[in-house]
Amino acid sequence: MVKRIKTVLEMIKFEHSVFALPFALTGALLAARATHQPPRGWPSLRQVLWIIVAMVAARSAAMTMNRIADLRYDRENPRTKERALATGSLTLQFAGLFTIAAVAVFFVAASQLNPLALKLAPLAIAVLFFYSFTKRFTNWSHLFLGLALGISPAAAWIAVTGGLDLRMLILCAAVTLWVGGFDVLYACQDIEYDQRAGLFSVPKKFGIANALLIARVMHLGVIALLSWLAFSFGLPWPAWAGVAVVAALLSYEHSLVKADDLSKLDAAFFTVNGYISMLFLLFWGAAAAVWRV
């Protein structure tokens, strides 16, 4: 059992939970500070712990569902044919049971936060699972993946306050474009397979060079939205420093990927984006700490 769970966690890249979690925690910090939630305008340790449990469980369920839904394609694609379900080292039945268990944990976590979080939990799961099927009918599945992660700051705000400030949708949009942009980059390596399999993607539709340009435009949108959010809340200088750091890292990420050279794509996708999310939380957490509200 332990070995199979370890195999599932390796298959869904459990460590990549770091991508969305810092943005959710930023949403929780802003919520508590802006609404003066106890203790002293900070989310409680209990709230933070249940938000983390909810986020990790939801992502684990969504990623396992994605592998189940894409099993046929994973078996055919040279890049993915060594994944656990594709090789048979993990059974479809166990993956299904793991997904159900992760969803159950997510609902338990939502119930421990507040009634609205629990009421919206089915909608969140629906959004997460729907992404797995979007590449079958739209070139913009990357934005659906972005939305799946992008709802996390709003979810965290709801978890802390039991309501929602519409300004938090700005951060949701920023995360959506951030994830969508780097997923466009990542999809460039599957363009040949997508053409054979009849799957949809921005690189397949527009070509790699144009896909890189579209990803850049998305990431410029991220910087504009983060700036708007910092201004709308009147956040102090560490937030603006965080925006500058994100801008610099996104610029570096794009410098690694060329239309005729995708060899550094893994570094751009995993390493740089991990730094972006963690440093964003660090700088915006500092901004929340010195924010006079």
pLDDT along the chain (293 residues), means of 10: 64 66 94 80 93 93 91 90 85 91 97 96 96 95 95 96 95 97 93 93 96 97 98 96 97 91 77 91 95 80
Q: Which of 135, 136, 137, 106 is nearest to 122 (CA)?
A: 106
Residue 131 vs residues 33, 162, 204, 234: alpha-carbon distances, Å:
32, 26, 18, 34
Nearest CA-CA partner of 19 in 64, 56, 46, 44: 56
In the chain the domains, ranked by start, together with CATH numbers, are 2-290 (1.10.357.140)
| pTM reported for the whole predicted model | 0.94
Could you give the angle at the alpha carbon of 244 between the alpha carbons of 182 and 33, nearest 5°?
95
Please give the biggest Cα pair distance in the chain: 57
pLDDT at 262: 85
Distance between terminal CA atoms of the chain?
A: 50
Measured in degrees and rounded to the nearest 5, phi and psi for residue 261 equal -155, 100
CA distance 158 to 138: 30
Q: What's residue 123's pLDDT? A: 97
pLDDT of residue 107: 98
Write phi, then psi, for 258 (nearest 5 degrees): -120, 155
Residue 252: predicted pLDDT: 93
pLDDT at 1: 66
